[in-house]
Amino acid sequence: MNDNIIAYQGVEGAYSHLACKKAFPSSITIACNSFNDAMKLVESETANLAMIPVENSTAGRVEEIYRLIPKLSLYIVQEHFEPVNHCLLGIKGSNKKTIKYVSSHPQALAQCYTNITNLNFEALAKFDTAGSAKEISEKNDPLYGAIASKLAAKLYNLEILDDKFGDLVGNITRFIILSKDIQTPKYEKNEEYITSLVFQVRDIPAALYKALGGFATNGVNLLKLESYSLPGSLKVSQFHIDINAHPDEKSLKLALEELTFFAKDIKYLGIYKRE
Q: What is the pLDDT of residues 45-69, one digit of tens each?
A: 999 999 999 988 877 778 788 778 7
Per the structure, the complete domain to which residue 220 belongs is given by 193-273
Local confidence band at 234 (pLDDT 50, 70, 90 cut-offs): low
Mean pLDDT score, 77-96: 95
Pairwise CA distance, residues 15 & 8, whole Å: 10
pLDDT at 248 over 70: yes
63 and 113 assigned to the same domain: no
Q: Is the pLDDT of residue 144 over 70?
A: yes
Model confidence at 1: pLDDT above 50: no
CATH code: domain of residue 45: 3.40.190.10
- For CA atoms 73, 203, 224, 186, the dihedral sign is negative
Asked if the structure places residue 137 within a domain, the reply is yes
Q: Using a pLDDT cut of 70, give the percent of the chain over it.
A: 96
**pTM, full prediction:** 0.85
Burial level of 6, CB count in 10 A (0-12/13-18/19+)?
Answer: buried
Average pLDDT, the chain: 91
pLDDT in tens, 20-36: 999 999 999 999 999 99
Distance between CA atoms of 127 and 146, rounded to whole angstroms?
A: 12
In a domain, 103, yes or no: yes
Q: How many domains does the chain have?
A: 3
Q: Is residue 106 part of a domain?
A: yes
Has residue 188 been placed in a domain?
no
Q: Does 186 map to a domain?
A: no
| Burial classification of residue 77, based on how many CB atoms lie within 10 Å of its CB (0-12 exposed, 13-18 middle, 19 or more buried) | buried
Q: Are strands 222-229 and 101-104 parallel, antiparallel or unpaired?
A: unpaired
CB 147 within 8 A of CB 86: yes
* Residue 11 within a domain: yes
The residues carrying an active-site annotation are: 173, 175
User: What pLDDT, on a 0 to 100 scale, did the predictor assign at position 96?
Assistant: 96
In a domain, 146, yes or no: yes
Residue range 126-142, pLDDT digits in tens? 988 999 999 999 999 99
Mean pLDDT of all residues in 248-261: 95
